[in-house]
A and B are shown apart, each in its own frame.
Chain A
Amino acid sequence: MFDNFVIPDLLPAAPEIFLAAMAMAILMIDLFVKDSRRTVTFALTQLTLLGAAAIQIYTSDSQITYTFSNMFVDDMMADLLKLFVYMTMIVVMFYSRAYLFDRPEMNKGEYYVLALFATLGMLVMISANNFVTLYVGLELLSLSLYAMVAMNRDSLASTEAAMKYFVLGALASGMLLYGMSMIYGATGTLEITELAEALYQGESNRTVLVFGLVFLVAGLAFKLGVVPFHMWIPDVYHGAPTPVTLLIGSAPKLAAFAIVMRLLVSGLITLAEDWQGMLIILSVLSMAVGNLAAIAQTNLKRMLAYSAISHMGFMLLGIVTGVVGGDVRYAINAYSSAMFYVITYVLTTAAAFGMILLMSRAGFEADQLDDYKGLNKRSPWFAGIMLMIMFSMAGVPFFVGFFAKFSVLQAVVAAGYIWLAIVAVLFSLIGAFYYLRVVKLMYFDAPTDETPIVAGLDMRILISANGIAVAVLGLFPQLIMTLCAFALLRSL
């Protein structure tokens, strides 16, 4: 009965296995932890993430390893993205701590366990080499997030956001599955590397393939949150408790980038002409809608939601410029630019939501733009940090956001799409307006609320470090840029 059973090589998936085991263990342990001693759960969660990161570093090599019957792949891109996922999640958990401990009704063990499962989902997505693996990872992430959005169950906005997220998310998953099944129908394989091989032979039915591709792209666009599949983003960002918004807005973008790379680039590169055309439309629409709608917002979380839409649109520019007329010379350059963009975006956006958490206190969410009025008077240091974050998002040097935009734009120009570069910079100009407005509120206006900021020292130090990283990486962006390029060179 077990004749064909071969024990798979577990080493490439060691961090995931560790994380899964620990998540389940923490679920059990937390049953014995009193509500007042939640710090234990918190510490265990952080240790788990650290442990997974350590295992990741220890087991990482520059080879591409397949395991679990080629369903799981471990390459440099996965290693790098996963390390950033762990790092982001550790930071996210630190930022969330004070917020949750101020609100005991939300500070349950489930929060930590769900966060770990969400992380596991992201890791699986990043390493997926099979449609099924990819889908399982995606659902693990999504289901954890649906529950987390509804954590504050007495809040009408949160419940509504969770509902909306769930319904639209399920629809998107359906689309993705539908697209996958079409492609399976055309090529007879679920495995991404085999799929690329099959398409290369060119014997598949093109109509079915392209039909499937449309659904696949629509599903991915949902998950990335790009126009016209962005409807859930503002409501979910706005309605979810801020720590959850922070989680949704940061690390999953890395995973979403990874599945775009796996599906479209590793799997369907032969259809690049087709999906690049679609993504260009999505990208331009996202930059337009994201930047314009952000101007009208009065809520900072909602503004950052629209800003996320526009940033994802900008990031797609890096992905659409990989293949030019069948020429893949610029592929590494383009994809590594997009990867650099996502990583810096996650770093910056984590700091932005971290600021909201820093400013909030029990019974006060600090998510209105007006709550930032006169921050420079209340705390010049944190106003300065927020200033750096906002200018980085606007893409003004010397902050890292500029080099993210720069590297994507150079890929666009290298591919010969100068008009696209001009469109992109014009929308960045519009985008600059609402980031500048936050700076205006902090610096030009008088404070309406003189309450001093209550936040623990750890939070203050961490957010300062995060803000300073935005500036320092802006002065020395070389390291991460090279890492991205190197990782992709070894993975594609």
Chain B
Amino acid sequence: MKEKSLLKKITGSREALLVVILILLFAIVTALSPSFLTPKSLMEVLKNNSVTIIMALGMLCVMLVGGIDISIMSTAALSGMTIGMLLKYEKISNTLLAFVIAIAIGTLCGALIGLIISRADVPPIIATMGFMYIYRAMAYLVSNGGEWAGAATLGNYKDFANKSFLGVNSILWIMIVCYLFFFIFMKWTRTGRKIYAVGSNPNAAEVSGINVKNIKLLVYTMMGFLAGLGGAVHVAVYASAMPDLQQGGEMNVIAACVIGGVSMSGGRGTVLGALLGALILATITRALPLVGVSALWQNMIKGVLILVVVVVNVILQRIADNNALKGREM
């Protein structure tokens, strides 16, 4: 009886299932390579995937309204490269100021995308594809045609990712704050619930007095904010800014959300799910070279694992939906 209810609980919630998958992954990887499950190693996993983990929050919101944003890593590159160059040529030296500038640039980039999508009604994939090229090109322009800002030129900024506050690494702090904020924002604020409403049924949302256009503008702006932050975090973690930073990384962010159970058609997905999806992806990325999978096979296995996780997730979601329906009939 008890067993059944546990099974029901797991199949009843996507997040619980993802937790099980994550624990399973941890167990397998640790069995194959015991050094994986050490605090240092886990911290490295978080730090090395911090950009994806942070940006998954923005992508969650974008996908909740039925959109997609493939320009995010170009935005990150533009903001990261800009502060890299500002630090390199000693226009600024303050770490906090660098973060503020990167976030400001990202937010502006995101707002522009949001305006085009919400006001001109351009399909998100097309609009963000355009901006993907535009912002990446701007990152190259900012870099004087391909200059890098290396560790030696970044001043204090390069040490930021190694600093700790109250015993917790600075990058981890950023992630914690972001996730706490979005957890509360999405669950308990009116605007957060409006995002869900717009995604579930845009027409109904419109009729009920929600300004759908402004909600769309808002989610792309928030995505931009996080992309700018992600750019700054990338430069801090790798102590290096280059115009091609994180090229192709947007797929990791989208994959993290998809694994986390965020629906591509909108309306469904949670902050916890995005986090778990990003962590599962990070664990896979870390584990493959660790357990000695040949380099040529790593992408193949990564792809297969993503599909398996998503398919299992979808099947169990269907079971859960059926169970829920059954409950209603009774």
Chain A partners chain B = no
Which residues of A are at the interface with B, using a C-beta cutoff of 8 A?
Answer: none
